Amino acid sequence: MHPLFELTTDNYYSREADERYMSCSQYRGWLECEAKQKAILDGRWEDEDSKALIVGKYFHAYFEGQGAFDSFCEENFADIFKTRSSTDKKTGLTTVTATGKYADFVQADSMIRVAERDELIKSLIDMPGESEKIMTGELFGIPWRIRVDKYVPDGRWIIDWKTTKNIWETTYNPALKERETFVETYGYMMRAAVYSEIEKQSANAETDPHFLIVAISKQDPPDKEALLLNHRQRYDWELEQIKGRIGNILMVKNGSYKPKRCGFCGYCRATKKLFAIKPYYKLAPEFREGREEDYEPIAGPGPVLDGPQEA
């Protein structure tokens, strides 16, 4: 991973950027399924965006600016707009006309209006800053990259626009044996810790920046909250977790270790092959087993990875 690689909006999500830099999304990918993440890095697998993820990107693009929003809508026209086709009998030319938006994007427009009509959120939208700010730094001896939804240098504010099913809904974490909020479920505390460290390096500062999530729910009508994630002790814990795992991740990434399979994601399902008939009780978590011979390598894009996908 050579750090001398200039990141731009065009190459930020490229395979080359993933090879040279670690990122929060890539790190979570390694934790979810090493085999799938290695296949993505090698160009053997590509996750398709779910409808929820496209809606989240639509919401983000709006706050990035009119130009970015128009470009996003044009690139994702078929997913966003209902259309009607008509053919001119004389010329034979077919014209496609938008007749409205699909329900998910009508709801997204409602979420945008809720954000803009709230005085507190509107004051954050109007703060002078830079959208999609790219920063790089080093953590645990390797280069990392971050892309901030909105960065306000004056006061050092990091603002993250988030859409979620229900702001107040909790989910059960079997590892911790407790229920947790969407902030923990989708790894936003880890993201806040990493972003804060990289921002401090970029700003040559010793204190943490303000890390703020502006959350809008996908309910009707949408709910809204502005959440400050600053918590130094929690940041330290998240960074210690990364420090303890990053060595193994790098060994898998560079090919020194064979990647482990989660057994349940789209990549694992697509590469699975049966070798024997199993007794029914093997479905229980305590009896599950993974065998490398259950899988075979494949090439090309595939279905979306199962599991949480928040924008």
Higher-confidence position of 98 and 39 = 39
Mean pLDDT lowest among 61-75, 91-105, 138-152, 258-272: 91-105
Asked whether the beta carbons of 227 and 212 are under 8 A apart, the reply is: yes
**Structural domain contains residue 57:** yes
Is residue 3, in this structure, part of any structural domain at all? no
What is the structure's pLDDT at 48? 83
Task: Let me know if residue 263 belongs to a domain.
Answer: yes
DSSP character at residue 213? E
131 part of a folded domain: yes
Please check whether residue 252 is in contact with residue 142, taking contact to mean a CB–CB distance below 8 angstroms. Answer: no
Residue 309 has pLDDT above 80, yes or no: no
Q: What is the mean pLDDT of the chain?
A: 89
**Domain assignment present for 168:** yes
pLDDT of residue 52: 86
Range name among 2-6, 26-30, 209-213, 275-279 with the lowest pLDDT average: 2-6
In a domain, 288, yes or no: yes
Q: What pLDDT score does 129 carry?
A: 95
* Tens of pLDDT, residues 133-180: 999 999 999 999 999 999 999 999 999 999 999 999 999 988 888 999
pLDDT (0 to 100) of residue 50: 83
Taking 70 as the threshold, does the pLDDT of residue 27 lie above it? yes
Q: Which of 120, 144, 121 minimizes the C-alpha distance to 134?
A: 144
Tell me: pLDDT of 96 over 80. Answer: no
Rounded to whole angstroms, how far apart are CA atoms 115 and 119?
Answer: 9
Q: Could you check whether the bond before residue 221 is cis, i.e. omega within 30 degrees of 0?
A: yes
What CATH number does residue 211 fall under? Answer: 3.90.320.10
* pLDDT for position 149: 95
Q: What is the pLDDT of residue 306?
A: 39
Domain count, the chain: 1
For residue 170, being part of any structural domain is answered with yes
Q: What pLDDT is stored for residue 292 in this prediction?
A: 55
How confident is residue 209, by pLDDT bands cut at 50, 70 and 90? very high
Domain that holds residue 106: 25-294
Kindly state the average pLDDT of the residues 121-128: 95
Q: pLDDT over 90 for what percent of the chain?
A: 71
Q: pLDDT value at position 239?
A: 98
H or E segment and range at residue 73: helix 66-75
Task: Please say if the pLDDT value at position 17 is more than 60.
Answer: yes
User: Residue 6 in contact with residue 24, Cβ under 8 Å?
Assistant: no
| Pairing, β 142-152 against β 130-139 | antiparallel
Does residue 308 have a pLDDT over 80?
no
Inside any domain, residue 4: no
CB contact at 8 A, 235 and 196: yes
